[in-house]
C-alpha cells in the first residue's frame, strides 16, 4: 500500500495533571471520547517475522461497533513502528500521530450501532526486551543448537509496542485471528486453535501459521513463539459439568517444547493434570476450554499468555530450581496457569488494578499448596512469602495513566486475601465467593470497586474495610 499523506487533525487530548506522568501515559491509560465511541469486536492480525534483521511487517484488520456519533478514533502503535497506511473499504484514511497513539479521521460521523472495519498496514523494528518478561518487548534468541528461538512479552508495556490496536485494558475483542509468516522449517505457536498451515505465495522459503482465538482476549496476552518445536499431546477429563462448553468433557492439552527437551518435558508436565483438577474444583472449569491448554517453551522465564502459556523454567522446581524446602513443584506452571482464571478470564480495566490479577493468582498458589499438602503447609507458604513484602507504596496505582502499584500486590496481596478468609471464618462461603467472581466476571474487564462490591455483598461491608485500606494506602503488615 502507498503511504497516506498525514493531515494533522488538531485532536484535543487532555492531560490529567499528575506531575510524575507524561502525555504519553494519559494517552495510553485514559478513556476519552475517541476511545469510548467504539467497541472492538474482532482483530485479524497478520505479521511477517524477519529474524535476520529483527524487523516485522504486516497489517491488522479491526472490526468494531460504533457507540457514538464521532468521526475520529484513537488507535495505538509505538512511535518506533511505522504506519504505512490506514484503509477502509479501499479508501485511504487520514491520521495523525501523537506520541504512541494515532488518531484516524473518517469522512462521515458514525451511525450508532453499525459494525465497520478498517485495516492498518505497518512495519518496523519493535523494542527489544532487556530482561523479559519484566521489562517487555521482543526476545530474539537462539537455542543451544544456534537455531532461532523467538518470542514477545508485553504486559504493562502494551501490545501496541508491536501491533496496532486499541490498546486499553477495558476493551477485549470478542475473538481474534492471528497469522504469522516465518521461514521454514521452524514452527510458530500462538494463542487459540491452530488452523491449517498455508504456503507463502510470494516466497516458497516461508510458511504461515494461522491461529484462531475463540474467546475475548486482553491485548497484551496476544503472543507468538518461534522455534524448533515438537508437540506433545495429552488430555484432561473434567470432573464437573459446565454450562459454558457443555459439548465436551475433554480438554486438549498440548505442550510445545524444543525438540531436544521432549523427554524431560513429558515427565515434568505430569503435574499439569493434578493442578487443573484442583483449579477446576476451586474456580470452575478451565475458562478457555474450546481453545485448549498449551504450555510453550519460551526464551524467557514465563508469562500468562491466554491458552498459550510461556514456559521458560527449564523443567526445574520452584523458579529455575530455587524453591522453599518442601514446596518442590514448578512455580511457573502453577502461577501462570492460575492467571488463566485471574487475569485472562477476569481481567483488570486499568493497570492500577493489577492486584486483581496478581493478588488472587498468588493466593491461588497457596490454595494449590493447601489442596496438595494441607492447611498448615499452606499457612507456612503464605508466611514465608510475606518475607518478601516491601511496604514501599500502595498496591493500587494511579488510574488513567497506565500505572501499576507496588509489586507487593503479589505476596502482600496473598496475605490480605488469606486474612480476609480468616475474618469470614466460613470456608464454604469463602470458596463459593471465589467461584462467584469467576462466574459473574468471566471474560470481562473489571475494576477494584466491582470486586469490592461483590465481596461486600457476600461478607458484609465491615469485613472489607481493612482490605481497602491496605490496598489503597501504604499500611505495613
Whether residue 169 lies inside any domain: the answer is no
SS3 breakdown of the chain: % helix, strand, coil, rounded to 5?
30, 30, 40
Number of domains in the chain: 1
Whether residue 140 lies inside any domain: the answer is no
Whether residue 267 lies inside any domain: the answer is no
Distance CA 384, CA 279 (A): 22
Residue with cell 476519552: 32
Whether residue 391 lies inside any domain: the answer is yes
The model carries a pTM of 0.95
Whether residue 246 lies inside any domain: the answer is no
pLDDT value of residue 201: 81
Distance CA 465, CA 424 (A): 13
Detail the DSSP E strand segments found in 286-386: 293-297, 302-303, 309-311, 346-348
pLDDT value of residue 343: 98
Tell me the Cα Rg of the chain.
22
Distance CA 465, CA 414 (A): 17
Distance CA 363, CA 467 (A): 14
Closest CA to 136 of 154, 161, 118, 151: 154
pLDDT value of residue 4: 40
Whether residue 406 lies inside any domain: the answer is yes
Whether residue 131 lies inside any domain: the answer is no
pLDDT by position in tens, the chain (length 477): 334 433 334 444 444 445 689 999 999 999 999 999 999 999 999 999 999 999 999 999 999 999 999 999 999 999 999 999 999 999 999 999 999 999 999 999 999 999 999 999 999 999 999 999 999 999 999 999 999 999 999 999 999 999 999 999 999 999 999 999 999 999 999 999 999 999 888 889 999 999 999 999 999 999 999 999 999 999 999 988 765 655 689 999 999 999 999 999 999 999 999 999 999 999 999 999 999 999 999 999 999 999 999 999 999 999 999 998 889 999 999 999 999 999 999 999 999 999 999 999 999 999 999 999 999 999 999 999 999 999 999 999 999 999 999 999 999 999 999 999 999 999 999 999 999 999 999 999 999 999 999 999 999 999 999 999 999 998 787
8 A C-beta contact, residue 224 and residue 186: no
- Containing structural domain, residue 385: 346-472
pLDDT value of residue 149: 98
Whether residue 427 lies inside any domain: the answer is yes
Instruction: Give residues with Cβ within 8 angstroms of 446, minimum separation 6.
Output: 346, 347, 348, 349, 353, 356
Q: Which helix (H) or strand (E) segment is 272 a member of?
A: helix 272-283
Output the domain CATH number for residue 396.
1.10.390.10
Instruction: Give residues with Cβ within 8 angstroms of 63, minimum separation 6.
Output: 40, 41, 42, 43, 44, 115, 116, 117
Amino acid at each position: 500500500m502507498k503511504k497516506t499523506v498525514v493531515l494533522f487533525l488538531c485532536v484535543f487530548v487532555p492531560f490529567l495533571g499528575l506531575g510524575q506522568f507524561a502525555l504519553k501515559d494519559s494517552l495510553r491509560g485514559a478513556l476519552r471520547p475517541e476511545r469510548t465511541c467504539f467497541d472492538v469486536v474482532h482483530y485479524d492480525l497478520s505479521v511477517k517475522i524477519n529474524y535476520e534483521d529483527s524487523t516485522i511487517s504486516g497489517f491488522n484488520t479491526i472490526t468494531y461497533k460504533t457507540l457514538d456519533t464521532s468521526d475520529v478514533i484513537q488507535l495505538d502503535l509505538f512511535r518506533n513502528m511505522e504506519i504505512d497506511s490506514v484503509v477502509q473499504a479501499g479508501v485511504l484514511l487520514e491520521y495523525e500521530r501523537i506520541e504512541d497513539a494515532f488518531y484516524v479521521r473518517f469522512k462521515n460521523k458514525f451511525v450508532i450501532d453499525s459494525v465497520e472495519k478498517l485495516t492498518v498496514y505497518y512495519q518496523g523494528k519493535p523494542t527489544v526486551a532487556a530482561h523479559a518478561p519484566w521489562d517487555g518487548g521482543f526476545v530474539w534468541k537462539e537455542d543451544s543448537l544456534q537455531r532461532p528461538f523467538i518470542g514477545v512479552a508485553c504486559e504493562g508495556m502494551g501490545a501496541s509496542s508491536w501491533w496496532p490496536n486499541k490498546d486499553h485494558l477495558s476493551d477485549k475483542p470478542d475473538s481474534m485471528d492471528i497469522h504469522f509468516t516465518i521461514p521454514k522449517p521452524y514452527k510458530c505457536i500462538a494463542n487459540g486453535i491452530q488452523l491449517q498451515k498455508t504456503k507463502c505465495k510470494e516466497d516458497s522459503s516461508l510458511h504461515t501459521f494461522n491461529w484462531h482465538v475463540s474467546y475475548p482476549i486482553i491485548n497484551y496476552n496476544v503472543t507468538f513463539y518461534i522455534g524448533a518445536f515438537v508437540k506433545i499431546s495429552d488430555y484432561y477429563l473434567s470432573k464437573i459439568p459446565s454450562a459454558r462448553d457443555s459439548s465436551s468433557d475433554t480438554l486438549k492439552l498440548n505442550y510445545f517444547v524444543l525438540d531436544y527437551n521432549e523427554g524431560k518435558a513429558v515427565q515434568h508436565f505430569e503435574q499439569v493434570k493434578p493442578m487443573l483438577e484442583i483449579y477446576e474444583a476451586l474456580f470452575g472449569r478451565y475458562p478457555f476450554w474450546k481453545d485448549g491448554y498449551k504450555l510453550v517453551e519460551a526464551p524467557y522465564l514465563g508469562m500468562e499468555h491466554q491458552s498459550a502459556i510461556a514456559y521458560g523454567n527449564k523443567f526445574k522446581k520452584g523458579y529455575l530450581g530455587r524453591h522453599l524446602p518442601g514446596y518442590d513443584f514448578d512455580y511457573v506452571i502453577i502461577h501462570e496457569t492460575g492467571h488463566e482464571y485471574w487475569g485472562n478470564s477476569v481481567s483488570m480495566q486499568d493497570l492500577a488494578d493489577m492486584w486483581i490479577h496478581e493478588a488472587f493468582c498468588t493466593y491461588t498458589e497457596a490454595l494449590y499448596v493447601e489442596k496438595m499438602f494441607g492447611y498448615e503447609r499452606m499457612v507456612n507458604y503464605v508466611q514465608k512469602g510475606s518475607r518478601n513484602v516491601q511496604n514501599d507504596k500502595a498496591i493500587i496505582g494511579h488510574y488513567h495513566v497506565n500505572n501499576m502499584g507496588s509489586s507487593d500486590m503479589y505476596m502482600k496481596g496473598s496475605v490480605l486475601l488469606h486474612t480476609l478468609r480468616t475474618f469470614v471464618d466460613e470456608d464454604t462461603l469463602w470458596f463459593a465467593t471465589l467461584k462467584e467472581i469467576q462466574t459473574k466476571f468471566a471474560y470481562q474487564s473489571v475494576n477494584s470497586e466491582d470486586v469490592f462490591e461483590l465481596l461486600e455483598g457476600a461478607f458484609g461491608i465491615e469485613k472489607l474495610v481493612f482490605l481497602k485500606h491496605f490496598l489503597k494506602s501504604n499500611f505495613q503488615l
